[in-house]
Amino acid sequence: MAIAKRFSIDKSDINTVPVTKFQAIADFFVFLGLSVAYVFQSIYYTICGWPEKDLNNELCVITGGGGGLGRLLARRLIRLGVKVILWDINQDGLDESLQMLESLGGWCRTQKVDISRREEVYKAAEEIKNNFGDVTMLFNNAGVVSGRALLDTPDHLIERSFSVNALAHFWTVKAFLPTMLEKDHGHIVSIASMAGYVGIPKLIDYCSSKFAVVGFDEALRLELEMLGADGVHTTVICPYFIQATGMFEDVNSRWVNTLNSENVADRIIDAVRKNEKFTLIPWYFSVLLAVKWIVPWGCTSGFLRRLVPDATPQHHLAQGSPSITKQEEMHSKNIHINNNNNNNNNINNKSLLIQRISASTLGERVL
Active centre residues (catalytic): 206
Give the chain's radius of gyration (CA, Å): 24
The rounded distance, in Å, linking the Cα atoms of 315 and 252 is 12
Q: Compute the 3-state secondary structure of the chain and give helix, strand, coil in percent, each to the nearest 5.
A: 55, 10, 30
Closest alpha carbon to 205 in 306, 312, 342: 312
Write the DSSP string, 264-285.
HHHHHHHHHHTT-SEEEESTTH
Spatial CA neighbour of 228 closest among 5, 2, 6: 6
Contacts (Cβ under 8 Å, ≥6 apart) of 228: 7
Neighbours of 210 (CB within 10 A): 28
Q: How far apart are CA 92 and CA 95, in angstroms?
A: 5
Measured from the Cβ of residue 212, the count of other Cβ atoms closer than 10 Å reads 18
SS3 at position 367: coil
Cβ contact 114:89 at 8 Å: yes
CA proximity to 252, closest of 299, 184, 306:
306
Burial group, residue 123, by CB count within 10 angstroms (0-12, 13-18, 19+):
middle
Residue among 264, 95, 117, 89 nearest 191 (CA): 264
Q: At what angle do helices 326-361 and 155-162 cross, to 10 degrees?
A: 110
Please name the residues in contact with 284: beta carbons below 8 A apart, sequence gap of 6 or more. Answer: none
